[in-house]
Structure formats: structure tokens, C-alpha cells
Amino acid sequence: MSQPADHFKKLVAHCKEYGFIYQSSEIYDGLSAVYDYGPYGSELKNNIKEYWWKAMVQMHDNIVGIDAAIFMHPKTWKASGHVDAFNDPLVDNKDSKKRYRADQLIEGAVEKLQEKADKEVEKAKKRFGDSFDEKLYRETNPRVVGYLQKATDANNRMNAALTAGDMEALKNLIEELEIACPESGSRNWTDVRMFNLMFNTQLGNIAGEEGKLYLRPETAQGIFVNFLNVRNTTRQKLPFGIAQIGKAFRNEIVARQFIFRMREFEQMEMQFFIRPGTQQEWYEYWKSMRLKWHLALGTPAEKLRFHDHENLAHYADAAVDIQFEFPFGFRELEGIHSRTDFDLGAHQELSGKKLQYFDPETNENYVPYVIETSIGCDRMFLALMGHALTEEVVGDDEGNTRDVLKLHPALAPVKFAVLPLKRNEDALVNKARAIFDTLKLSFPGQYDDTGSIGKLYRRQDAIGTPYCITVDFETLDDDTVTIRERDSMAQERVPVAKLEEIIGKRVDMKQLFV
Ligand code: GAP
């Protein structure tokens, strides 16, 4: 189902209003592209991480987890190529003084050309009706062919320029495509120049280049430098993986779109070490495993798609994104990269330590190849929240709507809420408290008697609580309660003794793995 145009704005407001995400240091007017997770946000984020960790580490006896430090020896980033090649091309508009990523401006122009072609096709479809042959039209209509050809040419030239590090070619392309600043409408651009995305700081009191430390821009390198430690201490045989969840930092040139692109964010990464020559097979395996992970949450298949990289990162021989249809279009959610022996090979060379594996089957020593899966926890959060937040009409009255967060119950921050029908009746309150105190031993929940039942339901819907339990006078007589399911709003009378089983069935993460 497509979402209304203002959905993204509404999502951002909802995240703040209900304690999911706040702007960092808001009392000082905030820090650009840095965010804090509130009470429900931190619970949801923890659940996402737990789901990933269970899927990657617990469900695979040949994958182990680590938690490496954010600070690493600076040589790490020289070997990994980040000091020399972790750059984005930036360009400033001289009139608006706004800064942009040159490649993103060009990609935007390419998308516009493609949209123009699509519009022509739509118009023709209406004109010709049933007899319309879309494929033939796309291949032969001069206007459509022209737009698509121009888009393909621009894309190819951009990729070639990025690969060659040719900033002048990028600037020429911006001019030829007549790209205007979205802010000022002006085409008065500076030259394009490269900008390194790593943040740096100083180690202790060592000044200058010698004491220069970087905040890691990816968690992967903490895994590579520990390859030998983990191999020697766990006796894992190839193929095996090392997983890690942790913070990463990038001085993004353009950090817009809420938590989609942040300067401090969290990654969930896994490096899978394999025998050279088997990378194609494992690449396909991890593509399918990771897609399954997303689909198990109930995300509709049409909201996810694979997108092969045309412009490969400096370490990869193949790379694909799992893209998700965010409110602003299909964008990268996760990357799966065939990293060859680039990282281990480079660390071996610079450190002088042998980072090899003796393969008892082939009697050979070699530097393993690597397939990486890498997903941003915050981006996953945005994808889930964006898809889950639904405004719907309740009953037949168009004016009666509710905002409901249809998160998978296994990920919902709060699993149940106990609501006494009246707050001033001691017997009801005591009973409701007793039910809450028992259930909280098993699930995160809430006790709430601060409003009418209708209002309390709406509040729980807005934070995605799968079950509301109402305690009324009948409960005092027969020990039954009304349990209301979030999505269907169906209400059922059930014995108190059954609550744990009913809730447990819906919120257990196990169901995501069967
Ligand atoms: N180790 C490989 C690597 O870091 P990447 O494609 O640069 O690859 C992996 O990043 C994932 O990290 C992305 O798919 C995205 O989900 C997340 N990510 C990257 N930069 C981000 C940023 N600035 N803000 C939020 N998430 C980001």
C-alpha cells in the first residue's frame, strides 16, 4: 500500500512525540545528523539487534561474535584503504552556500530523466488502452529512448569518473545536465573536490600526525584485525564467520532524511571467511539468507529489492544492496559485499603478521576470502517504523482514526499493557497490579490507569503494544480479563492464567526462525 506524501513528516513527529527518537542535544538547538533514542526507541533498537544477533550468531554454529573497540591503531585505516580512498565528492553552490555530494546530485538528475520517460509511457498507455505494447514503446518512441539514453550515459560517465577519481568530469556532468541547487535554483557551482569521511582525534598527549586516531567508519576492521585471535581461540574451520554490532562514525557531507544518514550510527556486520574460489556460491547464499531475515518480519516482498553496485568500493569484487522502499523512495538498507582477500591481505602486508589459514583438506596455506553482510541498525529502525506506522479509520466513522504502529510483536518495545477499567476502585487497581507484576517477569509491559480505556488503547497503539489487557469487575468474580489485539482490535475474554501463553506465542522471537 502506498503511503501519503506527508508520511515521512508524520513519522518524524511520531518518533519524537512518543519517545522513540530525539534530536541530539536539543536544548542547545541540536547537533546536525546526530540523534538520541528515547525510552521506546532504545527498546526497539535493542530488539532489532537481538533479532540480528540471534539470526547470525545463535543460529549458526560457525559464526561467533565479538565486541571490538571503536579506537584502533591508525595503521588499520591505512591498510583498509580508508585513509586514501574513503572519500565523497563534494560541491558547493556559491549562491545558497549549500554543500552537496556531486554523485547524489547527478543520481537525482538521472532519476528525473527516468521519471520523464515513465511519464511518457503512462500517457501513451492511457491513449492506446489495451492494445498498448509497453516494451515496444520504450524501445522505439524517440522521446522515451532519448530520455533513457541520456540517463544511461550520465550514469556510466559518473561511475567512470568516480572510479578514476576525476573531479573535473563530475563538474562537467553537473553542468551538462543543467543541475540546479534545490535550495536556490542557481547553477553557480564550485569545483568538485574529494572529502575524507573519517573523523579524527588525538591519542593522549601525543600531538600531530603521530597521535592521530580515527573514529572507526565501519565495524568490519575490528573483525579483520582479530581474525587470528578468534580463529586460534575458537578453533573454527573455514568457512566461518565473525559478527559484531557497534557504533561507526562518518563525517557525511549531506546528512539529511532523519536517521537515514547520520554522522554517528550503529552497524551490524558479519565477515564470513571462505576458501578463495568459493565466493560466488557464498555471495548468493548470504544474499538469500539476508533477504529471508527481512521477509520474516512481515515486510512485503515488493518493498525490498536487490540492487547491484555499478561503482564498486575499493575492497569489493561484487556488491549488492538490499534496498527498501523508504518514504522517499528505494534506498540502500543493507550491503552484501564480496571483499576478496583485500582486507586480510592488506593487514598482513602492513603488520607483517601472517593472516592465513591452513586448509587441512587442500594442504595449503592461504589468505581467506570474505563475504560481508552489513546493515545499519538505525536504517533498519527507520525502515521498520516507516512501514509500521499506519493511520486507519476505526469503524464506519471516517472522522474516527487511530495511529497504530504495526511492528512485528517480537520487536515491539512493549509487549502488553494492563489497564484497570476504573482508577479509583481499589479492588480493580490491586487486581490489575497483581496481573502486571506476574506478567512483567516474562515480558516488558506497562501498567496504566491514567485515562479512559479508549485513550489508553490509542496510546498503546501508537507505541505498537501487541496486547492490551483490561481488568473489570467481572475479573474480580471469575478471574477473566478482556485481551485486545492491536492490529485487528479484536477483543476476547480469557482466563488470567492463559495470558502468559497467549502473549508468549505472539512475541517470541523463535517464530521468526521457523
Ligand atoms: N563494512 C561495509 C560498510 O560499511 P556501507 O555500505 O558503507 O558498507 C553498510 O555501510 C550499512 O551501514 C549501510 O547499508 C547502511 O545501512 C549503514 N550506513 C552507512 N552509512 C550510514 C550513515 N551515515 N547513517 C546510517 N547508516 C549508515
Q: Is 343 in the pocket of ligand 1 (CB under 6 A)?
A: no
Tell me which of 374, 378, 384 to substitute to probe ligand 1's pocket, judged by most ligand atoms within 8 Å of the beta carbon.
Answer: 374
Q: Is 339 in the pocket of ligand 1 (CB under 6 A)?
A: no
CA of 337, closest atom in ligand 1:
2
CA of 250, closest atom in ligand 1:
23
Q: Is 246 in the pocket of ligand 1 (CB under 6 A)?
A: no
What are the percentages of helix, strand and coil residues in the chain, rounded to 5? 45, 25, 30
A 10 A CB-CB count for 10 gives 16
Phi, psi of 466, rounded to the nearest 5 degrees = -65, -35
Is residue 121 over pLDDT 80?
A: yes
Report d(CA 10, CA 386) in Å as an integer. Answer: 10
Is residue 414 over pLDDT 60?
A: yes
Q: Hey, is 349 helix, strand or coil?
A: helix
CA of 335, closest atom in ligand 1:
14
Ligand 1 centroid from CA 139, angstroms:
36
Look at residue 254 in the predicted model and tell me its pLDDT.
79
- What torsion, rounded to 10 degrees, do the Cα atoms 147, 150, 154, 156 define? 110
Give the residue, by CA position, lying nearest to ligand 1 atom 6: 335
Average confidence (pLDDT) over 61-85: 95
Is residue 3 over pLDDT 70?
A: no
What confidence tens digit (pLDDT) does each residue in 432-458 have? Answer: 999 999 999 999 999 999 989 999 999
Q: Hey, is 285 helix, strand or coil?
A: helix
Q: What is the identity of the amino acid at 139?
A: E
Phi, psi of 191, rounded to the nearest 5 degrees = -65, 160
b vs e for 466-480, b when ≥16 Cβ sit within 10 Å of the residue's Cβ? bbbbbbbeebeeeeb
- Residue 139, Cβ density class (10 Å: 0-12 exposed, 13-18 middle, ≥19 buried): exposed
Of 329, 244, 333, 261, residue with least CA distance to 66: 244
Q: What is the pTM of this model?
A: 0.90
Ligand 1 centroid from CA 376, angstroms:
5
CA of 217, closest atom in ligand 1:
4
Report d(CA 404, CA 395) in Å as an integer. Answer: 14
What confidence tens digit (pLDDT) does each residue in 189-246 have? Answer: 999 999 999 999 998 877 777 788 999 999 999 999 999 999 999 989 999 999 999 9
Of 328, 378, 331, 413, residue with least CA distance to 34: 378
DSSP state of 61: T
